[in-house]
Amino acid sequence: MSAKDNAFSFLPMDLSGKLIIKARLGEDIRMVPIFNEDITYDELLLMLQRVFKGRLSPTDDVTLKYKDEDGDLVTIAESSDLNLAKQLSRVLKINVFIHGREPLPTLDSHEVQEVRRELCVIRDKVNTILDSLDGKSGGTTRGARGGSTLSQPQPSSSTTQPEPTSTKMKGKQRS
């Protein structure tokens, strides 16, 4: 191996004796070495928010779980639960569950194209319906980008207000 090859080769970190967190959020799995093994539950949550940036926020209601030696999912709700989980393995596999939010399905490019095509068909049908309503009521006009914009309503003769000088209330003129 030449010196040039050595410059670009991967030099692994010495992780012997270190705790590794393997976290799963939906289909996304991340591995993070933990150099301070005295990590608290709150620090773990903060670290997971950074690792899953954009998908996990401080306001999310989350539950962390790991599999014990029996294969059961055990909840980590506080630092003492985390300390117990760390004693079981040097690689702590954590599942992150976000409450109140449905997991987003992952789509391949073919599925994305199919959804896009279906949405275009729906848009075209909605535009056709709006166009037919335009012809009947005259209430909307087609926008420049194919969208629908409401036109200003024109007052009809039955809704026009009489001149203020011609309307009297209890003997006084309306102003």
Region 16-99: CATH code: 3.10.20.90
Mean pLDDT value of segment 120-144: 80
What are the tokens at 149? 């914009």
Does pLDDT of 138 surpass 80? no
Strands 61-67, 73-76: pairing is: antiparallel
Q: Does the pLDDT at position 171 exceed 50? A: no
> Which pLDDT does position 73 carry in this prediction?
92
Q: What is the pTM of this model?
A: 0.49
Sequence ranges of the domains in the chain: 16-99, 107-139
Half-sphere exposure of 103 (CA within 13 A, CB side): 12
- pLDDT tens track for 79-113: 999 999 998 888 999 999 998 765 556 677 888 88
| Among 115, 105, 110, CA closest to 27 | 105
What CA–CA distance (Å, rounded) separates 14 from 10? 13
Over the stretch 113-128, which tens digit does the pLDDT of each residue have? Answer: 899 999 999 999 999 9
Q: Which residue has the tokens 């959020």?
A: 25
